[in-house]
Structure 1
Amino acid sequence: MTQHFLLSAASKTLKLKDIYQGGEDAAYAKFCALRWPENDGEAVCPRCGCCEAYSIKSRRKFECKACKHHFSVTSGTIFASRKLSFMDILAAICILANAAKGVSSIQLSRDLGVQYRTAFVLAHKVREAIATETTETVLDDECEIDGAYFGGAVRPHNIEAKRVDRRLKENRSPKRRVVIALRERNGRTLTKVARREAEGVEFAMERLDRTARLNADEASHWDALEMIFPLKRINHSEAYSLNGACTNQAESYFSRLRRMVGGQHHHVSAQYLHQYAAHAAWLADHCRESNGALANRIVRNAMTVPVSRQWKGYWQRHAAA
């Protein structure tokens, strides 16, 4: 019997032990190689683009020969002004790449030996970086669209006479959100967090090419897409798949996201649900890549994403509020 890819040696090309045995110099060299691949890991000035720079080895910085600008390998990226060593950042990326259902910030803080706040912001910076992979993606093949609700659970009252019907709209929590997934079969998964699943109609029109073929369930708001895309419908009260029409891959993504939220994070704020949804989509899309390839992909993304306006100084802002 053929061995599953995730059980094979080909899926395990990076070990946490190797990162710490390689030391800080090897981790730093990895960041340089992935930041400036077109120059064989040699520094390129982010201000003027000059390919020649003096190396200030005592500070791990560079001075541009043309404009005299001082910069580091993380200057202008999401890891700018970092305090952690390159070895610890690479180890955190390895842990996040290895976790098929994500990893909680408290567990990451224990693995790295850092404060919870440090791990929380670092994980969210990684999520922001990997989400940029699909910022401009437009799907043009066979796709599925569906929605699933997260958060906002209303706890039943202790006294039975005071309990309300939690299915009614007026009794729902305002924190309840729906994650809309637009998933291309054997392709990418795009996500959007909204208050109503009907908002997925506009999302589909923005992110789907007009040649795309679409699969959806029998919810009435998807009727608006029938005039724009070839649309197959599946009634889940009768079957999960019928004559090629199904939303099983979208449901598979929701299964991963539910396990991530329920099994790892236990609680996800509606304010940040979009980042967890994008993280789960990224893991689902790249589940057949080795953990070494995933770690390299995360570092490359992080080296091209600018300083995060949301996560830079996050705890300082919250402490001042």
Structure 2
Amino acid sequence: MHATGKGGKGEGQHFLLSAAARRLSVAQVARLDDEEAYRLFCGIRWCATEGDPVCPHCGCIAVYKHAKRRIFTCKACLKQFSVTSGTMFHGRKMPIRDLLVAIAIFTNGAKGHSALHLARDLCCQYKTAFVLAHKLREALGAETETRHAMGEVEIDGAYFGGYVKPANWKVDRVDRRFTKNQNGKRRVVVIMRERGGRTLPFVVRHEVDSIPTLQDRIKPGSTVHADEARSWDALTYAGLGLMRINHQEAYSDGDACTNQAESFFSRIRRAEIGMHHHIAGPYLADYAHEMAWREDARRIDNGQQFLLIGLAALIHPPSKRWKGYWQRAKRKEAA
């Protein structure tokens, strides 16, 4: 799991610090001319045909290429389409090269990349960068929402959001740990992490509310590792092998531990504190899916990550949630 450094003594080196982790730079993408960027975009979307267009309507590979515009006409169904038709970038206004630069910047954020930073890097409005980043997060999390966990599975939960600012004067302060003194916005991210497999998060209001989802999405015969929280007691009767570790006594006890689940929470907590600051509310699941993907891809070089994120966005249909996001108030009035 560790790459060997290039030093004369061949000392061990963390993968992220090694040259093997660096296969792409934002400068490389920014230096592409318009035609090179377009060919790369086509190559990512239609990687199975080495960049040759495939009709998104009927799947036919026989198409007419228009000389004056970058669109195609299918010979079978006679419908026109472009490289972004039917994808997350459908109806985009941003140039293709800028989209590629945005994906490269998003990729290189080990703990995520804030919308404000992305807006400055692309010299675009904050609203544009905000929606673009969330479209990428949605594409990354689309596969994991219905995926099942199996084998050795670690589960755990961590609460996010719902911050209540303490009063200025000490005499006016209350114990914010009590429910009556909270604002009700706090949510818990529950993680199912396969040992040697995928990281699958979801969001619920309380930790105990996750039991039905865990019972449904962890395949029978799997061994579940959990901490001492009473929320997980119900899994004993779900046909799952349950191993418990009491964190008040130790972090691990033989094979029983939730260290990999805790590793995920460390990543998302670092993203919350150091990068995004506020990730709760309706967007918490999006950030959780992004951090789960980054945790799973942490040993993949950034060149491959760039291609995987681009492919995820280009095979994902237009987002019902983020398409026209800033006009949602007008849509509600019209409805």
Report the Cα distance in structure 2 between the residues aligned to 1:59 and 1:269, rounded to whole angstroms: 43
Show the counterpart of 2:262.
Answer: 251
On the 8 A contact 1:77/1:307 being kept in 2, the answer is: yes
Counterpart-to-counterpart distance in 2, 1:316 and 1:167 = 38
1:259-274 to 2 correspondences below 5 Å? 259-274=270-285
Partner in structure 1 of residue 253 of structure 2:
242
Runs of 4+ aligned residues of structure 1 deviating over 3 Å after TM superposition are 318-321
User: Deviation at 1:319?
Assistant: 6.5
Are the counterparts in 1 of residues 162 and 280 from structure 2 also a CA contact under 8 Å? no
Instruction: Identify the match of residue 108 of structure 1 among 97, 110, 118.
Output: 118
Q: Distance in 1 between matches of 2:145 and 2:235?
A: 22
1:199 to 209, 212, 219: 209
- With 119-128 and 169-178 compared, the bigger mean Cα shift is at 169-178
State whether residues 186 and 280 of structure 2, in contact with CA within 8 Å, keep that contact through their aligned partners in structure 1: no
Between the aligned residues of both structures, percent identity stands at 50
Match of 1:288 in 2: 299
Matched, 1:44 2:54: yes
Partner residue of 1:298?
309
1: CA distance between counterparts of 2:258 and 2:40? 40
The 5 Å alignment of 1:24-63 reads: 24-63=34-73
Match of residue 125, structure 1, among 131, 135, 150: 135
Q: Is the 8 A contact 2:42 2:83 kept in 1?
A: yes
Q: C-alpha separation between the residues in 1 aligned to 2:173 and 2:21?
A: 50
CA distance in 2, matches of 1:38, 1:155: 53
Q: Which residue of 1 aligns with 2:218?
A: 208
Q: Which amino acid aligns with 2:255?
A: G
Q: Which runs of 5+ in 1 are unaligned?
A: none
Distance in 2 between residues matched to 1:53 and 1:139, nearest whole Å: 41
Query: Is the partner of 1:306 in helix, strand or coil?
Result: coil
Give the alignment partner of residue 243 of structure 2, picking from 232, 254, 267: 232
| Partner AA of 1:42 in structure 2 | D
Show CA shifts across 1:64-83 (max 9, x none): 12222111011011110011
Q: Describe the SS at the equivalent of 1:182.
A: strand
Aligned length: 321
Name the counterpart of 2:6.
none
Match of 2:89 in 1: 79
Matching residue's letter, 1:137: R
Q: Distance in 1 between matches of 2:83 and 2:162?
A: 42
Q: TM-score, normalised by structure 2?
A: 0.92
Q: Which residue of 88, 109, 119 maps to 1:99?
A: 109
Q: CA RMSD in A?
A: 1.5
On the 8 A contact 2:88/2:314 being kept in 1, the answer is yes
Give, in whole Å, the separation in 2 of the partners of 1:272 and 1:136. Answer: 18
The answer as to whether partners of 1:130 and 1:298 remain within 8 angstroms in 2 is yes
Letter in 2 for 1:124: H
Q: Alpha-carbon deviations, 1:199-258, whole Å to 9, x = none?
A: 221221121111211110111121111122111111111111112211111111111001
1:306 to partner: Cα distance? 0.6
Q: In structure 2, how many angstroms separate the alpha carbons of the residues matched to 1:20 and 1:160?
A: 53
Scaled by the length of structure 1, what TM-score is found? Answer: 0.96
How many angstroms apart in 1 are the aligned matches of 2:267 and 2:94?
30
* C-alpha separation in 2, matches of 1:319 and 1:279: 29
Corresponding residue for residue 3 of structure 2: none
Displacement of 1:10 in angstroms is 1.7
In 2, Cα distance between the equivalents of 1:302 and 1:123?
A: 11
Q: Which has the larger displacement, 84-93 or 28-37?
A: 28-37
Whether the 8 Å contact between 2:211 and 2:232 is mirrored in structure 1 is: yes
Look up the equivalent residue of 1:94 and give its one-letter code.
A
Q: 1:46: Cα distance to partner?
A: 1.5
User: Aligned to 2:211, what secondary structure does the other structure show?
Assistant: helix
